[in-house]
């Protein structure tokens, strides 16, 4: 069975127009309502550990304190 093959070579213009959508997009950052540090949307704040007004994880500062106590 014959395999379909393009009849003409794709031009540089057509190739580049198709590739124009392959761009990197930087993540959108919002401010944490608790500590006002930038954070990713729909993620817990890495600085204070709050998400939707309640504490869900330990903050960076708490983790550092715990490491210092172990030493």
Taking only the tens place, the pLDDT of each residue in 19-69 is 888 889 899 999 999 999 999 999 999 888 899 999 998 877 788 888 888
pTM: 0.57
* pLDDT value at residue 65: 84
Residue 29 sits at φ, ψ, to 5 deg, of: -110, 140
Classify residue 24 by its DSSP letter: -
Look at strands 50-51 and 29-31 and give their pairing: unpaired
Decide: 29 and 38 in contact? Cβ < 8 Å: yes
Delimit the domains of the chain by residue range.
28-58
* pLDDT value at residue 66: 83
């Amino acid at each position: 069975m014959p395999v379909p093959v393009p009849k003409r070579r794709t031009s540089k213009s057509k190739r580049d127009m198709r590739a124009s959508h392959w761009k990197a997009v930087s993540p959108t950052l919002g401010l944490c309502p608790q500590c006002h540090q930038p954070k990713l949307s729909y993620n817990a704040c890495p600085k204070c550990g709050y998400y939707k007004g309640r504490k869900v994880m330990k903050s960076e500062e708490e983790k550092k304190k715990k490491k210092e106590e172990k030493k």
